[in-house]
Amino acid sequence: MRAPAGARGLATVGVVTSNDPVPRSGEDTFDLVDDAVAALAERRGVWLGDDIAVMALVASLVEQSERWLPQLVHDARANGHDWPEIARALGTSPDEARLRFDPESPIADGRWPYDF
């Protein structure tokens, strides 16, 4: 799997693993996103007291995450995972996951394979 620079291995640091990989949001996720926003603000020289600037930072993180998902789905399919498994990990239905990420889908992003 190709990950953005510095992203590989982060998922295993101080994380309790689960046999049920479904999307969850809570304090742990908030803390990580908050740290990512602060790090990105520092990198870009953005003041965190500016609501619009922080909104743009969060949107940047969301956009990058969205750009990463197609490669992860591609890799999961290449490693034998089926659409129901992928859909569960994404928090959607198998039909929706396939429609969004299958390179044969009429609505999938045409930049296949996706580049980062």
- Using an 8 Å Cβ cutoff, are 88 and 22 in contact? yes
Average pLDDT, the chain: 83
Res 18: pLDDT: 56
DSSP symbol at 20: S
**Predicted confidence band of residue 111 (pLDDT cuts 50, 70, 90):** low
End-to-end CA distance of the chain: 12
pTM of the model: 0.71
| Residue listed under structure tokens 């129901």 | 84
In this prediction, residues 76-86 reach a mean pLDDT of 97
pLDDT one-digit tens code per residue, 28-65: 999 999 999 999 999 999 999 999 999 999 999 999 99
Res 115: pLDDT: 54
Exposed e or buried b for every residue in 58-91, given b needs 16+ CB within 10 A? eeeeeeeeeebbbbbbbebbeeeeebeebbbbbe
Residues 6+ apart with CB under 8 A from 53: 41, 46, 47
pLDDT one-digit tens code per residue, 10-25: 444 445 555 678 888 8
**105 pLDDT higher than 80:** yes
